[in-house]
Amino acid sequence: MARRRVVVTGLGLHSPIGSSLEEVSNALREGRHGIVNVESWRAYGVETRLGAVVADVDPPACSRKQLRSMGKVARLAVSATHAAIIDAGLSAEQVSHPRTGLFYGSTDGSTGAAEDYYRKLYTTNNFSGLLSSMYLKFMSHTCAANVSQVFGITGRVVPICSACTSASQAIGEGYHAIASGREDIAVCGGAEELHVTVAGVFDLMLATSVRYNDAPGASPRPFDAARDGMVVGEGAGTLVLESLDAAQRRGARIYAELLGYGTNCDGMHLTSPSPDGMARAMELALADAELSPGQIDYVNAHATGTDVGDVAEATATHRALGPDIPVSSTKGHTGHTLGGCGAIESIFVIAMMQGKFIAPTRNLVEVDPRCAPLNYARGDAREARLNRVMNNNFAFGGINTSLVFSRV
């Protein structure tokens, strides 16, 4: 069977810089960020006190019974998915059709709900008073499970839990499902919930930004010589994918075409990234899209602001794509939204294609000389007609992803 062309027909998100395409486009253009000081973390002995926060939401069209099984991460996922389905113009019958699949990721379940559960259990050494629904909030596939129940999805449901590539792998798997003809519609995305335990984990690894605790707007600083680590964030993003033919038949608005997807594993180290592995993922995406490096107009880098990660990624990008393609990281605006970043940042690059601009890397003043010589976008936003863009994400375990989107 010939491979079907895959397009994006619906978008929904909650991010630290907005929850609509217009909001995030304006924020990316104007350099606005969502980083705040989270002073309450001090009580836990966490060194960093920088986080990128999203207001909690009450998902539309949810019953009280459904809400009982949702922590914040699932509420964000359900709300973003509701917006994407409405945006795509899908009926309830189309969403619940057996050939509609759900591909959704997160780093884990609701960390806030897990804290509530285990704090009560281990301070009393007794299960009395614990609600059975509490587990449903922090089980690892809570986002996929709750989204499928709220929207009545009866097709294939694929939860993906690969840390910072959870959402990008979900989009990639949805793309494969549509391209191969296995599904007609794929609802894809990822979500993350901010919690002190998440900040604390990266703090213990000496990976968080601490130098700028009193100046939240000054960090993170991807690729910058003065960077000192990442800022953890939260949010959710959902994309609706379908075949080009089907979208055209029903007169759907088409945001972009998904041309290629590459994913692999370094197979070397749990936390230290490999430039070779990163470069191979980009090369796989280019091969899948049947493009040469020179046909990419912009690269949205994963670059989180860590010392080792940014250098490795710059080396890999230079190796796979050369020195001329504009590169920036939107994490200077949003922090690192972990399990949600692949979807949130895919929506960001679609916003740039729609708005004909390149968002600069916030706080990139002086490029670290250890980073390969790339065409780093910094300062003000650049006006640009973007026909093909690449979005890269990388995760612990050496898992790498690269997605290529194009204007239709």
d(CA 299, CA 317): 9
Catalytic residue among 97, 302, 318, 333: 302
Bridge partners of residue 402, in order along the sequence: 262, 392
- The region, left, alpha or beta by phi > 0 then psi within -120 to 50, assigned to residue 133 is alpha
Please report whether residue 303 resides in a domain.
Answer: yes
Answer whether 78's CB lies under 8 Å from 62's CB. yes
Answer whether 241's CB lies under 8 Å from 195's CB. no
- The region, left, alpha or beta by phi > 0 then psi within -120 to 50, assigned to residue 18 is left
CB burial class (10 A; 0-12, 13-18, 19+) of residue 310? buried
pLDDT score recorded for residue 1: 60
Structural domain boundaries, residue 208 = 6-406
Answer whether 36's CB lies under 8 Å from 232's CB. no
Q: Tokens in use for 228? A: 């000192």
The β-bridge relationship of strands 235-243 and 375-376 is unpaired
Please report whether residue 166 resides in a domain.
Answer: yes
pLDDT score recorded for residue 94: 97
Peptide bond into 159 cis (omega under 30): no
Catalytic residue among 97, 336, 341, 371: 336
Q: What residue ranges of the chain have pLDDT lower than 50?
A: none
Please report whether residue 79 resides in a domain.
Answer: yes
Beta strands in 281-370 (DSSP E): 298-300, 326-328, 357-358
pLDDT score recorded for residue 314: 98
Answer whether 162's CB lies under 8 Å from 395's CB. yes
Burial 150-184 (b: 16+ CB within 10 A, else e): bbebebbbbbbbbbbbbbbbbbbbbbbbbbeeebb
164 carries an active-site annotation = yes
The β-bridge relationship of strands 357-358 and 382-383 is antiparallel
97 carries an active-site annotation = no
Please report whether residue 129 resides in a domain.
Answer: yes
**How many structural domains are present in the chain?**
1
Please report whether residue 248 resides in a domain.
Answer: yes
189 closest CA partner among 237, 150, 151 = 237
Please report whether residue 169 resides in a domain.
Answer: yes
Please report whether residue 1 resides in a domain.
Answer: no
pTM: 0.97
302 carries an active-site annotation = yes
Answer whether 16's CB lies under 8 Å from 38's CB. no
Bridge partners of residue 11, in order along the sequence: 239
pLDDT score recorded for residue 288: 98
pLDDT score recorded for residue 132: 85
Catalytic residue among 143, 161, 164, 188: 164
5 closest CA partner among 172, 144, 139, 180 = 180
d(CA 376, CA 310): 12
Could you tell me the CATH number of the domain that includes residue 38?
Answer: 3.40.47.10
